[in-house]
Each structure stands twice: as structure tokens, then as C-alpha cells.
A and B are shown apart, each in its own frame.
Chain A
């Protein structure tokens, strides 16, 4: 894919926002901006430089993995180690079996130790009480032979329970440290994604819907699992463009269009057979959709599992509905200049990052479950965030956000 400097830096920014602190983000982007500026001063073109740099997605994955592992090391928490494991998995090359399955087995093992320990700690004293009562002559049916024997058995169980809990705690600490070292080693040795040489491979699955004078667009995208990315960008006469770079091993997404008065209704369905794609050597299946820049669009997106990236800043929206099951969702409307619209964003499990244009009067109502909320550039009114820009004539944007488990990053830019 041909990318100029702006595209490259934007993709990096979108991928990293919400994970990496603002100073670090600026610092990272400035490295790449410097690279472009020196390269250009030596007469290389932006496209040439970005091709040599390789995919910004890969670069972002690499930065994120190191960053999140560092964070998990500094602040010990289940959430941090989870993000670190997921980010390292995102590097993609070593498959799930190398990291994920040992991780799950370990968690299961530690859980068993803890549950057993706690059970013993709770049961021991109850049995102790029973045996003491029995010694005092209460008629309690107990499995042991003598009251004194019962006393010692239950005392032993209590001690064993305490021991198990303590051992479980130090085992957890030990495995946490070991896990961090292992993740670091993975990041050092193994590098995911593809080198620059892969850019030349033609996309095995692609499709276009011509414009045919349509005045508006109703686009519905349903995707089974994988990376879904929607942004501005089609040839002149096209309404919608579809590419599936990793589609080779997978069933192709279907693309259909019907006339709808003066407009067009376009449906995209990507059904991916999990057994064939998820475990394949390629990283997860991906779908990229480009939409014509100047056409009023109602966009409805559903992704069951995987990363969803919507870079809509240069489009013109009349409505937006996003539903993501599990995985990260990023919606970037920075620099938006189109008309007002209503949006509904529902995210199940995973980070949710939303960037909205600050020059519009906005009302963002948030309903959320578990995780941090990080909001910039809004005025808080209860569970609603609003902006009051100076430009009074700008159309209204109303957003409803429902976030399940995972952090929410909301920013007016």
C-alpha cells in the first residue's frame, strides 16, 4: 500500500493513542517525523521512505508490546499482565500455543491451588469446632474415629490450607516475574508481521462498487473475526473499495450493492472459518474498506472478535453504529468537517478509543462496565460529556457509548 508521511504517522498515532502516554507518543512520532524529514532532504520520496520503513501497524505492535511489558513489570496487576500478553501475541509470528496456552494453564493451576487453599482454611476451623464439640460430648457424626484424632486432622488441614495459600501467592509472584522475562525474550528474539518485500504481493481478494451517480451511501459491514479497518479512499468513480490482504487462506468476504432511491445500499459480509484462519501462519484475517470521501454515509459496523479501526475524519457521516464483540476498537474522527450525525458505539471486551472533532457541539453519553475512563477536552455533566465550541452554527454530534470491560479513552481534538 502506498502511504505518504501523513498517512504513516497518522496510522502510528491511531494505533498507539490510549496505550502510550502523551509524552511518549509525541516522542515516538517525532523519531519517525525526523526520519521522513532527513530522508526527504536527501531526495527520497515520502512513499519510498514509508515503504522502506515497513508497515506502521507492525511498528506500532512492536512498540506496544515492549511498552506494555514494561508497564506490567513496573506495576504488578492482572490487567497489566493481560495487556502485555495480548500485545506480545499481537506480534503475531509465534502462534497462540507458545504464549497463550501456557499462560491459561498456569492461571488454571494457580486458581486450583488458591481455591484448594481457601477451602481448607475455611473447612479446617469448621471441622476443628466440630471435633471440639464432639469432645465435649455433642453427638456430631464425624468421619474420624476419635474426637482427639479429629482435632489433629482438622488442625493439620487448616495449617495445610494456610500453607497452600502462602505458596500460591509466592508462586504467583514467581511466575509473574518469569512471565515478564519470557515476554521480553519473545520481543527480543521473535519479530512478527511482514517485511517490506511482502508489499508487492497483490491482494488476493478485492472488490469495488462503482458510484453510478449515487447521492448517499448506506454501508453495512459484518465481520466474523479479525482486523477490520475502514477509512476514506477509493478511486474516483468508486463508492466503496474492499481489500482483504490476508484473505488467501480464508473464504472471501462477500460484497453486494442495491439501489436505494438516490443512493446505494452496500452490504459487506466477511465470514471467516476460525479453524482455517485463526491458527494459520498468517496473522489474523484482515479486511480493509475504503469509502468515497464526499458522499453522505450511514455506516453500520459489526465485528465479532478482533481489532476494529475506523479512521473517519475525512468522510461525511449521517449516522454511525458500531458494535464490537471482543477486541480493540478505535474510532478516529479528528479533523472531521462533514455534517452532524448520531452515533451509537457498543464495545464488549477490549480497549475503546474515540477521538472526536472539538469544533462541533457534541453530547457524548457513556455507559460503562469495568475499566478506566480517560477523557480529554470535554465538559463533564454527570454521565454525559459535552463540548461548547465557539462556532455556533456547526451541526450537532450526539454519541452514545456503551463500553463493557476495558479502558475507555475519549478525546476531543
Chain B
């Protein structure tokens, strides 16, 4: 299996430290979208990918995928796997790709300004 770069969304320095749960929920969507923008995933794989970097109840990713599907941002298809029954894969639709780009950009700008601010505060503290 090819190595997927991890979701680069809301990784906080020293992740694994419990992060505010509302905070996580807000950024979960962009994480899921950006993992799927790289390649199609089946649920388990996606959950694993995300829970590697963000500590969250894995079960809540499925309702999120369901909502994204309802909103037309992702579609699903079944594909045979080497072992066991076929797996349900998720793929971004065109509007999903657009949303992913927009949200990623927004996030990057936001994160950059927050980092800037935090650095300023750090310097002042020194």
C-alpha cells in the first residue's frame, strides 16, 4: 500500500495532549476532506489515518462521512479487497474538491495568523 501523507490539518504541537473536543470537531471535516483529496479511502483506513494525528472517538467519523455524502461532497463505491467482503470506498466529488481547496486555504491562513500571534506572545514573554 502506498504511504499516505498524514492529514496536515489541526496538528497541535505535542499532539496526543487532549485537545478541546469542540475544537476537534470543527476541524474534523477539513481533515477528512483533505485525506480523501489525496486518494480514495475505505472507512477503516480513513479513521486510522485521522486518529493517528487527532485523538477523537473514531465512531464519530462515520456520521460525518454520512453527512458529507448527503451534502454531495463525497460519493461511495464498493471495491473487492484481497481478503474478506468488498469494502466501501469514499471519493470526493467535484464540489467536494472545491470545498476542500477553499477550506484548506482558509485553514492555512487562519493557522498562520494564529501562529504569528502566538509567536509574538512568546517573544514578549521571554
Contact = CB atoms under 8 A, between A and B. Distances in A.
Interface of A: 28, 30-32, 34-35, 37-39, 41, 52-56, 58-59, 62-63, 66, 70, 93, 187-191, 193, 195-197
Nearest to A27: B66
Interface stretch (B5-13, B51-59, B92-100, B110-118): B51-59
B70 interface: yes
Contacts, number: 88
Given A32-B62, A59-B63, A63-B63, A37 B84 contact: yes
A93 to B, nearest CB: 7
Contacts of B44: 34-35, 38-39
A59 B18 contact: no
A183 to B, nearest CB: 13
Contacts of A196: 55, 57-58
Interface of B: 18, 21-22, 24-26, 29, 42-44, 47, 51, 55-60, 62-63, 65-67, 70, 83-85, 87-88
A53 to B, nearest CB: 4
Given A62-B63, A188-B29, A53 B43 contact: no
A143 to B, nearest CB: 58
Given A38-B87, A70-B70, A59 B62 contact: yes
B29 A38 contact: no
Contact of A34 (B55, B66, B88): B88
Given A52-B51, A56-B59, A195 B29 contact: no
Nearest to A40: B84
B25 A189 contact: yes
A38 B84 contact: yes
Contacts of A39: 44
A52 B58 contact: yes
Contact of A191 (B21, B51, B66): B21
Contact of A66 (B21, B26, B67): B67
B60 A197 contact: no
B84 A41 contact: yes
Contacts of A53: 57-59
- Most chain A CB atoms below 10 A, which of B24, B56, B59, B84: B59
A31 B88 contact: yes
B126 to A, nearest CB: 33
A283 to B, nearest CB: 13
Contacts of B24: 191
A37 B83 CA distance: 11
Contacts of A31: 43, 62, 65-66, 88
